[in-house]
Structure 1
Amino acid sequence: MTTVTVSVGQQAYDVKINDTLHTRIGAEIASVWTPRQIALITDSHVGPLYLAETTRQLEAAGFQVLPLEVPAGEESKSLQVAGDLISALAEYGFTRGDGVVALGGGVIGDLAGVVASLYMRGIGYIQIATSLTAQVDSSVGGKTAVNLGATKNIAGTFYQPNLVLVDQTYLETLTDRDLVEGYAEVVKTSALAGPEFFGLTGKIQNITDIRTHAQALSARAITYKAAVVMADEKEAGQRQFLNFGHTLGHAIELLAHGELRHGEAVSIGMMALTERMVRVGVSPADLVPALQSRLTAVGLPITSDLLGTPAFFDRLVNDKKNHAGTLNLVALEDIGQPIIVPKALSAMPEFMASI
């Protein structure tokens, strides 16, 4: 068992990483929560696989479980769906002493986190992360959000969970594509963290390697992100570094209308940004092939025709890192040396055309 403790403000919680956690969910949750009502939120992909067994374990541990399933996909990350879930909690008489458990990937984690943070101004919240994206990134740090129209993650909260369970066994039921899109976040984190972690991702040569080393990759990524979150919970400083690849990536993800997964878009965003930062003298030239080799080794895309289109620039206006017309772009001066490069929105067309 690897345990990473995240301490922010007056709250601390554990992220537990082990491939047997799926067999003792009830006991793990009972270690941090007294018996109560639990809204167990999942989606139509994960539910048929794990909802019944998770419910059984929770009920055996003394919890009353309300299973709530939403359609799988980014479309469920909406104010409408969040409102429907909140209404369900109210209908079943949930109080401030009850809780929400997210059973799923990044979409479910974000959605359930929003619900928990808003219901009665906040009730207990636990994440059981079933995708690699959720395990290495979105389940840690307390950022929750839903989308509004064509704007990604525009309505949300900083709301820390009481516990996060990361079990690589859940990855066995992921398709290769779903697994690989999460690996993009691992590559991102390794580039931010430094040569040791970046060296580990350099040894991943295929999808089988990801599955074989998933626990070590998750532990490294979570340890790094936890340290960043503890130093900067509300993204006022160094937590912005975790957005490496995301500003450009989010824009093309939205324009792709479901044809690109989040991690695929981040992969493209990292490459597009780094190529241009090399051109303007911010990043070293050898960073481009180093990133490219790690991404293409497992089949991640590294470019898109959506980059630089008029619609692409329109999407940048609504990015959360747009501060009064200036984007805070995250670049790398070297591996393990991220920096913020302010760039006026008006200068982005010229910047994107710089290769």
Structure 2
Amino acid sequence: MDHEQIPPAPAAPPEVKVPSTKIHLISGGSAGLVSAFTLQPLDLLKTRLQQQRRTNTGLKTSITKELKKLANIRDLWRGVLPSTLRTSVGAGLYFTILSQTRTYIASLKKVSEKSSSSVLPKLSHAENLATGFVVRAAVGVITMPITIIKTRFESNLYNYNSMYEGFEGIYNEGGGPKGSFKNFFKGTAATLARDCPYAGLYVLFYESFKNDVIPSLLVPFRRSIHDNYLASVTNSLSAVLAASVATTITAPFDAIKTRLQLIVSVGRPPTIWTATKQIILEPGGVKNLFNGLSLRLGRKGLSAGISWCIYEELLKFL
């Protein structure tokens, strides 16, 4: 009697490798470090433009004027140490906490679906907006002291020779006999008003572009482009587009934040409202709230493209 052949059991689907917290921290920190160092000149020029009172000259003239003030090209990287510290630590914390939060929410929903170009969990638009918003608020408060040091170093209103001198100077501001740690949190409200909506909108648009818009646009190229390269292109394009949209929406709070962090106040510190009124009453009016937008767009777009691409690729590699 012939025995009927038993078909081989189907192979078990490969397990999706879930990156550890340590991997998220290393990947996020590395991505932040590279982008911060590379794009420091744009950040410095943006701060210089936002610190000055608006004149009737155009933005191009202002940038040219700021470039002429520099003694040498190395001055474009002034403040790169606090900037890289803030961005690498901040990015490491942000990516790690964001990933853990999103993974937790996905597990509550028992969602196992993941994007083909990413190892990150896939959430709804509202969940992406909320997680980005909340996580950025927490990281923003933690990194606020180094953020003020970074802004002061980039400005030419202060001549700190070291980070220690900067911390000491900020601590002793106010004219009183004793210093105050409150000085390290100047502009916190404006920073959170900028960063929280930015982060929420960024994650929302990033996931939308990555999962829906960009893949549909790249359909004609799927046969001619390797999957790994296609994933990198998808992640980078999504990051740049998401950053551009979120940056434009939150630009006014960036100008207000810079103004608040550069003011040395004696007595009652200035508020978001007083800083906003001061900026708007200068020549140029409401347009002043968008000072440095082109530089911030360039920096944020490139930073997002660099950091998110490095972050997601390192997650796969490590």
TM range (shorter): under 0.3
Relative contact order higher in (CA < 8 Å, ≥ 6 apart)? 2
TM-score normalised according to structure 2 size? 0.25
Higher helix fraction (1 or 2): 2
Q: TM-score, normalised by structure 1?
A: 0.24
| Structure with the larger strand share | 1
